[in-house]
Amino acid sequence: MIFNIKSLSQPFPRHSMIIWSGKRLFITCTKFMSSLSPEPPINNSVLLVETRSPKVPRLILEDVYAFPPNREILGGTAYLIVNKSGNILVDCPAWDSENQGFLTEQGGVRWLFLTHRGAISPAISRIQRDLGCEIIIEEQEAYLLPNLMIRSFFQELEISPGINLIWTPGHTPGSACLYFDTQGGILFTGRHLLPNQQGKPTPLRLSKTFHWWRQLASVAKLRDRFSDETLTYICPGANTGFLRGKRVISHAYEQLMALDLDELKNAPSF
């Protein structure tokens, strides 16, 4: 018998034994509580509780998929860019059979780009082994990945026509963004720019921020680089719940220009 874990409103029976196998939880018991099922138990009753998350990567823009937040990187959101030159994984999704199978169905991954050190999953070695991809990270944080096949860069790197990596230090020393020159311009910002509670993009001064004023200078650099014609969407690396299901920030350049960077210099950390 298969039960949705949400349906188990009462405690597990006494004398029960919990066995974890893969993505499923087995509960065996010598006494069966009739409240758990309208049917009588069979063979001394073994309950199978399905714990698999129903969430799957979803298409948010043409050729761009967003993964559910990954607890292993503090709720970070990873993205897949489907591209003729090779697919690009931006940050690390939860590494399970569903996500691995999805990436295989999309044609695999050629590059895994890490926007900052906080996006490095404990499973990153397995991700590279299973996908056979090259990992790209800004050079100041490359030392965090010994014994892995990586490519580091400084300042900027074009990994494919129309796809550029841009160093935006501040949140961490090696924070970087990925710019995709399509659909009016898409910027994958990691934690450099995140939606606030109103869903607007902003730099956030956190207790672990490496250098706040450098982060603001990096925001100014992005504003100088882009325009209304070249930057339409931001795909943030966390806080996507504040987007109320939209998953992307629209009118990106207009919203960046609305930031008062001088006032933000004195923003409190939290």
The whole-angstrom separation of Cα 116 and Cα 190 is: 7
Contact criterion met (CB below 8 Å) for 87 and 96: no
My answer on whether 127 and 43 are in the same domain is no
pLDDT band at 246 (very low <50, low <70, confident <90, very high): confident
My answer on whether 136 and 254 are in the same domain is yes
Long-range Cβ contacts of 130-139 (<8 Å, 24+ apart): 130/95, 130/100, 131/89, 131/100, 131/103, 132/108, 133/89, 133/108, 133/109, 134/110, 135/111, 136/111, 136/112, 136/165, 137/113, 137/174, 137/176, 138/165, 138/167, 138/173, 138/174, 138/175, 138/176, 139/174
Residue 249 lies in a domain: yes
pLDDT band at 2 (very low <50, low <70, confident <90, very high): very low
**Is it the case that residue 40 has pLDDT exceeding 50?**
no
**What confidence score (pLDDT) does residue 165 get?**
98
**What confidence score (pLDDT) does residue 105 get?**
96
Residue where the block lists tokens 């937040």: 69
Prediction pTM value: 0.80
The whole-angstrom separation of Cα 137 and Cα 174 is: 8
**Is it the case that residue 7 has pLDDT exceeding 90?**
no
Residue 270 lies in a domain: no
**Is it the case that residue 15 has pLDDT exceeding 60?**
no
Q: Summarize pLDDT for 150-209 with one digit per residue, the tens.
A: 999 999 999 999 999 999 999 999 999 999 999 999 999 999 999 999 999 999 999 899
My answer on whether 36 and 121 are in the same domain is no
My answer on whether 202 and 231 are in the same domain is yes
**Is it the case that residue 45 has pLDDT exceeding 60?**
no
**What confidence score (pLDDT) does residue 27 get?**
40
Contact criterion met (CB below 8 Å) for 2 and 14: no
Per-residue tokens: 134: 């090259």
DSSP H/E element including 152? strand 150-153
Q: Summarize pLDDT for 81-120 with one digit per residue, the tens.
A: 999 999 999 999 999 999 999 999 999 999 999 999 999 9
Counting beta carbons within 10 angstroms of the beta carbon of residue 170, is it exposed (0 to 12), middle (13 to 18) or buried (19 or more)? buried
**CA 44 vs CA 2, 7, 150: distances in Å:** 15, 21, 53
Residue 103 lies in a domain: yes
The whole-angstrom separation of Cα 149 and Cα 77 is: 23
My answer on whether 6 and 118 are in the same domain is no
pLDDT band at 230 (very low <50, low <70, confident <90, very high): very high
Q: Summarize pLDDT for 60-75 with one digit per residue, the tens.
A: 999 999 999 999 999 9
The whole-angstrom separation of Cα 231 and Cα 262 is: 22
My answer on whether 91 and 16 are in the same domain is no
My answer on whether 36 and 114 are in the same domain is no
What mean pLDDT comes out for the span 124-135? 97
Residue 269 lies in a domain: no
**Is it the case that residue 229 has pLDDT exceeding 80?**
yes
Q: Which residues contact 257 (CB under 8 A, 6 or more apart)?
A: 223
Full strand arrangement of the beta sheet holding 88-90: 58-61, 64-66, 79-81, 88-90, 111-113, 134-138, 150-153
The whole-angstrom separation of Cα 122 and Cα 133 is: 16
Share of the chain above pLDDT 90, in %: 73
pLDDT band at 55 (very low <50, low <70, confident <90, very high): confident
My answer on whether 45 and 87 are in the same domain is no
The letter for the amino acid at 136 is I
**Is it the case that residue 11 has pLDDT exceeding 60?**
no
**What confidence score (pLDDT) does residue 245 get?**
76
**Is it the case that residue 12 has pLDDT exceeding 70?**
no
Q: Which domain holds residue 20?
A: 2-50
Q: To the nearest whole number, what is the mean pLDDT of the chain?
A: 84
Number of domains observed in the structure of the chain: 2
